[in-house]
Chain A
């Protein structure tokens, strides 16, 4: 493989993958629910990055990827609003933000 220093599609995809893995780790490992929500934001942004990069390199004439990215941003905003509202509601009754204690939704 030709090692190329110029910034190409692979570079963006690599950054996107790193961001996604960071987010995934956060979702699995963080104990604070707010941190989990932030990790989800990271994952969504990794996806956004991929959309835009693909649009730039593979379909220059169209704006499909950018439009998709805009949709994801809107979705993320809504998701955070709902997620934080839930967190506040849970905090008011349970006085905790620890995900390990969020385990009463079971048998």
Chain B
């Protein structure tokens, strides 16, 4: 089985190549035809998704063989002394899972976009960007080395920028695009530094080689320059995921990124691109394992903090997309701390289920916004379930999934993260995660009850969205419902997607971090999720608990949450005062010192030239005289000179006059 599938795995490069082809086709050929552009783009992503499914089926069939021997196909891209770079694809359970998730969500979003972007002037451009993004993201997940990954990493950042600023006629969209690009650049700088640190020490960026070099023996560590060096590198590499996956304090770009079209938010800023950071940490997990324990603890702490931090903000937001954006931040924090507490499996599991239900909810929100003609405030909605039964029902599934209610997908992955946190000895993080689960259920319940139930608004005339939009919702709802069951019978998911550890150069399977379903813990987290939903129901439907009264009782807290802890304002203050102050000093230096030197040089040159040009009299005969005298001088110099120039001696040339 394994060997037969091998030849299929070597064709994994076709998966990102198809959307790239579609991007080029749309950009250069079919741009003028709307229908053709969409057809090309959707066809390409569906073919890529089909291939991803085929590979996934093969990987599941291969059993533990593929875990031990990931199939790496690469070609040499650059080979100069001291720098050898390969480009290639790696097929292992981790990349296969990502291929499946990205392929699924990208195809659903592109199909959905046919309905959502109907009549938009930038239609073909939109599908071209979508294809470019699909290419970059699919390439990212099958990269074999850090540099290849970094290239795709920057490409997805570019696509994110292009799609956030898709409606570039809106000032807010342009600003948000710039903010997203620059904030993630801060993180990418750290990542690049980390890559250079790795390369300067090991001379390779290949994941497998790096893992083999750091195999944990004393010799390997000595070569690595000690634990301290690895720890520093791990921290630097982690700065990239902080920016890309919106961890505190670089989370500010993600809520603003909601300025883009809603399907873009679903694809890029919820399901795929933002999890690239989590994926990267999973990919280079061995570095964190060889680093000092503080590195992973930092990941766990920051993730947990981001989870609860963003969840509290989400409670006080009114914009439907912003609530979902802060929810995404919170869930990304969840995935991060799952990695931090040592459960790669749980993190990747949650990544997958989150992609299903968050994409579902974003697309549902897009459906609502579409029906209500660009209204995004949840208080302007109400009673939508009756008018939009498919959107409402699928959204409800998403809410149940994220709240961790069994048997929906989120229950399984969230429980696995929480039990991993507790069983690996992080009770505080467990408590934070549990409380975040409660908050998540509460704000999701609030969103759902306010927007979909409650009284209808007279001024709204919602109608169900076309099939282009509802069919992807139904498919994603299906995966949000059953997606968690892969964890069930023999913990298949944990069996495949786990960390491979190199011990003395041999791949060992690593330990199962999955401890089995802890039904007691699962019960507790379900209770917390239910409590959140019930509280939201009591507050916003039966109004037993008065939201206004609570807000009035803690005005300071409410204001703090409403204004997102004033993080944006703090950044603005820093930029206005400190950065501008430094800028003024540098400006003075530039004007007076740098420009002074340059202008001084120019003045000296001009003065010298002014003197020298007097030599040019314009008199023909003066020139002739100077010319003649110069010839005489050169002649004399040659004749007086000895040695090598004697060959030019005119007497010698004549062979001596008799």
Contacts and interface: CB of A to CB of B under 8 A. Distances in A.
Interface stretch (B223-231, B527-535, B620-628): B620-628
Interface in A23-59: 24, 27-29, 36, 58
Given A9-B657, A58-B654, A107-B613, A102 B624 contact: no
SS of A interface (majority):
helix
A7 interface: no
A106 B625 CA distance: 17
A27 B616 CA distance: 18
B616 A102 contact: no
Given A106-B616, A107-B613, A107-B616, A28 B657 contact: no
Contacts of B625: 28
Contacts of B614: 107
Contact of A103 (B613, B619, B628): B619
A15 B639 CA distance: 23
Contacts of B620: 36, 99, 102
A28 B624 contact: yes
B619 A100 contact: yes
A27 B621 contact: yes
B617 interface: yes
Nearest to A29: B621
Contacts of A24: 628
Interface in B30-48: none
A24 B618 CA distance: 19
Contacts of A9: 657
A105 B621 contact: no
Nearest to A105: B618
A105 B619 CA distance: 8
Given A9-B657, A58-B654, A107-B613, A27 B624 contact: yes
B424 to A, nearest CB: 84
Contacts of B617: 103, 106
Contacts of A103: 617-619
A43 B657 CA distance: 23
Contacts of A10: 657
A12 B612 CA distance: 43
B513 to A, nearest CB: 84
A28 B621 contact: yes
Nearest to A30: B621
Nearest to B618: A106
Interface in A51-69: 58
Nearest to B628: A24
A60 to B, nearest CB: 14
Interface string B249-284: 000000000000000000000000000000000000
Contacts of A100: 619
Interface in B635-658: 654-655, 657
Contacts of B618: 102-106
Nearest 3 pairs between A and B by C-beta?
Answer: A106-B618, A103-B618, A107-B613
21 contacts: A24-B628, A27-B621, A27-B624, A28-B621, A28-B625, A36-B620, A36-B621, A58-B655, A99-B619, A99-B620, A100-B619, A102-B618, A102-B619, A102-B620, A103-B618, A104-B618, A105-B618, A106-B617, A106-B618, A107-B613, A107-B614
Interface of B: 613-614, 616-621, 624-625, 628, 654-655, 657
